[in-house]
Structure 1
Amino acid sequence: MTAEPLLAGVELGGTKMFVLRARGRQIFQRETVATTSPADTLGAAASILKDWWAEEPFAALGIASFGPIRLDRSALDFGQMLPTPKPGWSGADIFGTLTHDLPCPALIDTDVNGAALAELRWGAGAETSPSSNCLCYLTIGTGLGGGFALEGRPLHGAMHPEVGHIRIRRAPGDDFEGVCPFHGDCIEGLVSGPALARRFGVPGDRIAADDPRWDHVAHDIAQLVSTLLLMTAARQVLIGGGVGIGRAALLERVRSRVVEQLNGYLPFVTTDSIASIVRPPALGDQAGPLGAIALALDVLATC
């Protein structure tokens, strides 16, 4: 039997980063680094990777990062962070810093595209053929990101999807101005962790589940989900992240509002099917780390 390849992965999030080692898809070691400045955060990860390489070289590296990131390999700023609300991170050379002096193939994509890929192959999408499936992964936490796995691969165009900055139809009577420094009340500016803290006056984990203001949040998230279902006909929209995971009551409100908002237009979205369409990730909080490993496996397959 052929041994599973030794792989390395980095999942870079807005508040923390995981540096990973895996045999095939089985992660056996992870180091956690707080996301502070690019120099400190990426420097710590690069040091870990170099130590692991000296111990035993790995076959490939997958990098799944919050965005927006330049993914066009022909661009001069390939692998760098584009203008972002995250202070100090615009222009950070993520790919170059993490791959410097590592003589192995490497692939970078967004954290949500990676998570969508992992869910498609090993999680919620595994019950259907990956080659014929379209799956969306949303993470709602420090920011709001959305990734797509389509026909077995992450979705790219001129860049990667940036669904967090879509503007939605606001709920009647909701006058919250939003917190996005670029767009104010785009969906990220309305329902991300910082947005909830501003909207409610306390951090999200201290907000009571029966607070009536959750109705506006559920409406906004449902507007995004309805838009994505209409635009892509995704079989599933998975909602992860600190806001998305662990709030079953909010998810139920979102599902109900999606059905109401679509009003029967999409025949596959019904009261009976909505729980299987709009749901938490099957891989839970491991979707992100496994996304980095999925990217490592993909680049290794091309070598």
Structure 2
Amino acid sequence: MKLGAIEGGGTKFICGIGSADGHLLDSISIPTTTPEQTLGHVMQYFAQFDVQSIGFGSFGPVGTDPNKSNYGQMLNTPKPHWAGFPMLSYLKTQLQMPIVVDTDVNMAALGEATWGAAVGLDSCLYMTVGTGIGAGAIMKGRIVHGFAHTEMGHLLIRKHREDTFNGNCPFHTDCLEGLAAGPAIEARSGRKGALLDREDQLWELEAYYLAQALVNIALVLMPKKVIMGGGVMNQTQLFPYIREQVKHLMQDYLELPEDWIVPPGLGKFSALKGALVQARMNV
């Protein structure tokens, strides 16, 4: 049985074909341009294969409740051309198979819980830090949803007393994403994070903001494992900084496991493999 998987991001869509045991057989990367152009290429890709079901993890915000009329529709995103676009309906014009839609970070959390760093645990958090910040949570083996999907990238956090950057979230200005996502790093330094020195003090400031978010999430959800991925987290020097800041901010109130904060066990394929899990559930 062949299953389809889509990881839809603001920069690129990654599509793949895989088996029910999580083995990827083929994948392709498609630049994210307009919805019609991008999803047109997605449909052309899957038309080559006999797939039983597709899991679609999208950047957000996106409708994730199958009982609502906006299921599979892009919501109020700042991404040009995408706000309000009915992605699922558009895909269904050519792909006549079940398609289940959720966020890319929820799919990543599911992938890591099934085959990655959180195997054997009934709860985990997956946070991606890149062009934006998002997080998905698994609790008691299920993805956490409410009246909509979680938006932990927009947590309101304290600014560092020495930080003069206003923040650049178009909705909340100085929320977590506005202070700590890749564009915020570039706005502060004038260079992309990948070009900064590993010892640059900016990384300690970055860790301060990410640690605040993790402490807040820990106090609410108590996930048994936190997995941090995305382009910014390729700066692996961040992990010890974040762990140190989490310990400091927690002030001995809770004792967290030494291996509580880890990189993805599935590398860059967390969301794609999580989408395979969702596709498998929907056959």
State the 4+ residue runs in structure 1 displaced beyond 4 angstroms.
none
Q: Deviations over 1:13-44 (max 9, x none)?
A: 12111111112221111111011111111111
Matches for 1:93-112 after TM superposition, within 5 Å: 93-112=86-105
Match of residue 250 from structure 2: 262
Distance 1:100 1:212 in 2: 50
Q: Contact between 1:16 and 1:35, CA under 8 Å: does it hold in 2? A: yes
* Aligned equivalent of 2:52, options 38, 59, 62: 59
Does the 8 Å CA contact 2:64/2:148 hold for their aligned counterparts? yes
User: Take 1:247 and 1:72, find their aligned partners in 2: how far apart are those partners?
Assistant: 35
After superposition, give the CA deviation of every residue in 1:126-152 in whole Å (9 maximum; x if it has no partner).
133xxxx21000001111010011222
Match of 1:8 in 2: 4
Residue 42 of structure 1 aligns to which amino acid in structure 2? Answer: L
SS in 2 for 1:47: helix
Counterpart contact for 1:46–1:97, Cα < 8 Å: no
Q: TM-score, normalised by structure 2?
A: 0.96
- Once residues 199 and 265 of structure 2 are traced to their aligned partners in structure 1, the CA distance between those partners, rounded to angstroms, is 26
SS at match of 1:92: coil
Instruction: Give the alignment's Cα RMSD to 1 decimal.
Output: 1.3
- Which is richer in helix? 1
What's the secondary structure of 1:229's corresponding residue?
helix
Distance in 2, matches of 1:96 and 1:48, equals 17
Taking the aligned partners of 2:193 and 2:80, their CA distance within structure 1 comes to 21
Aligned counterpart in structure 1 of residue 108 of structure 2, from 109, 115, 127: 115
2:24 equivalent in structure 1: 27
Q: Distance in 2 between matches of 1:117 and 1:297?
A: 12
**Matching residue's letter, 1:288:** A
Find the aligned partners of 1:89 and 1:195 in 2 and give their Cα distance.
22
* Percent of matched pairs sharing the same residue: 36
Note the 1:1-303 alignment, pairs <5 A.
5-24=1-20, 25-52=22-49, 57-128=50-121, 133-244=122-233, 246-267=234-255, 269=256, 273-274=257-258, 276-300=259-283
Equivalent residues of 2:43, 2:95 under 8 A apart: no
Q: Kindly tell me the number of residue pairs found equivalent between the two proteins.
A: 282
Between the aligned partners of 1:215 and 1:31, the Cα distance in structure 2 is 35
